[in-house]
Amino acid sequence: MKRLLLAVVAVLVLAAVAAGAWLFLSLERPYRGYTEPEQFVEIPQGSGSAAMGRRLEDAGVVRSALAFRLAVWMRGVGHRLQAGEYRFDEPLSATAVVERIARGDVYLLTITFREGLTIRQMSEVFESRGFGPAAEFVKAAGNASLIEDVDPAAPNLEGYLFPDTYSLPRRATASQLVERMVAGFRKALTPDIAEAAEARGFSVRELVTLASLIEKETAKPEERELVAAVYSNRLRIGMGMQADPTIIYALELLGQYDGNLTRQNMRVDHPYNTYRYAGLPPGPIAAPGRASLQAAVNPADVPYLFFVSRNDGSHIFSTTYDEHRRHVQEWQVRFFQERRNREGH
Q: How confident is the model over 216-264, as pLDDT tens digits?
A: 999 899 999 999 999 999 999 999 999 999 999 999 999 999 888 888 8
| Shared-domain flag, residues 205 and 133 | no
| Shared-domain flag, residues 156 and 209 | no
CATH number at residue 42: 3.30.1490.480
| Shared-domain flag, residues 169 and 203 | no
Residue ending a domain, among 103, 138, 169, is 103
| Shared-domain flag, residues 148 and 82 | no
Q: How confident is the model over 43-101, as pLDDT tens digits?
A: 999 999 999 999 999 999 999 999 999 999 989 999 999 999 999 999 999 999 999 99
Could you list the residue range(s) of the whole structural domain that residue 291 is in? 189-304
Q: How confident is the model over 162-216, as pLDDT tens digits?
A: 999 999 998 899 999 999 999 999 999 999 999 999 999 999 999 999 999 999 9
Q: Which long-range contacts (CB under 8 A, 24 or more apart) does 232-240 make?
A: 232/200, 232/299, 233/299, 233/303, 233/304, 233/305, 234/305, 235/279, 235/280, 238/278, 239/278, 239/305, 240/274, 240/275, 240/277, 240/278, 240/279
| Shared-domain flag, residues 49 and 98 | yes
| Shared-domain flag, residues 203 and 181 | no
| pLDDT reported for residue 332 | 74
Query: Is 233 exposed, middle or buried, given 0-12, 13-18 or 19+ CB atoms closer than 10 A?
Result: middle
Q: Which amino acid is at 308?
A: V
Q: Is residue 316 part of a domain?
A: no
Q: Is residue 148 part of a domain?
A: yes
Q: Which amino acid is at 280?
A: L
What's the number of domains the chain is made of?
Answer: 3
pLDDT at 13 over 80: no
pLDDT at 17 over 50: no
| Shared-domain flag, residues 274 and 247 | yes
Q: How far apart are CA 306 and CA 194, in angstroms?
A: 27
- The model carries a pTM of 0.83
Q: How confident is the model over 274-308, as pLDDT tens digits?
A: 999 999 999 999 999 999 999 999 999 999 999 99
| Shared-domain flag, residues 209 and 266 | yes
* Element holding 25 (H helix, E strand): helix 2-27
| Shared-domain flag, residues 203 and 299 | yes
Q: Is residue 344 part of a domain?
A: no
Q: Is residue 8 part of a domain?
A: no
Confidence of residue 16 (pLDDT cuts 50, 70, 90): very low
Q: How confident is the model over 91-139, as pLDDT tens digits?
A: 999 999 999 999 999 999 999 999 999 999 999 999 999 999 999 999 9
| Shared-domain flag, residues 166 and 234 | no
Residue ending a domain, among 68, 103, 138, is 103
Q: Is residue 136 part of a domain?
A: yes
Cβ neighbours around 126 below 10 Å, total: 24
| Shared-domain flag, residues 218 and 300 | yes
| pLDDT reported for residue 311 | 83
Residue ending a domain, among 168, 187, 206, is 187
Q: Is residue 64 part of a domain?
A: yes
| Shared-domain flag, residues 240 and 166 | no
Instruction: Give buried/exposed letters for 7-42 (b at 16+ CB in 10 A, else e).
Output: eeeeeeeeeeeeeeeeeeebbeeebeeeeeeebebb
| pLDDT reported for residue 336 | 57
Q: Is residue 11 part of a domain?
A: no
Q: How far apart are CA 333 and CA 288, in angstroms?
A: 30
Q: Is residue 342 part of a domain?
A: no
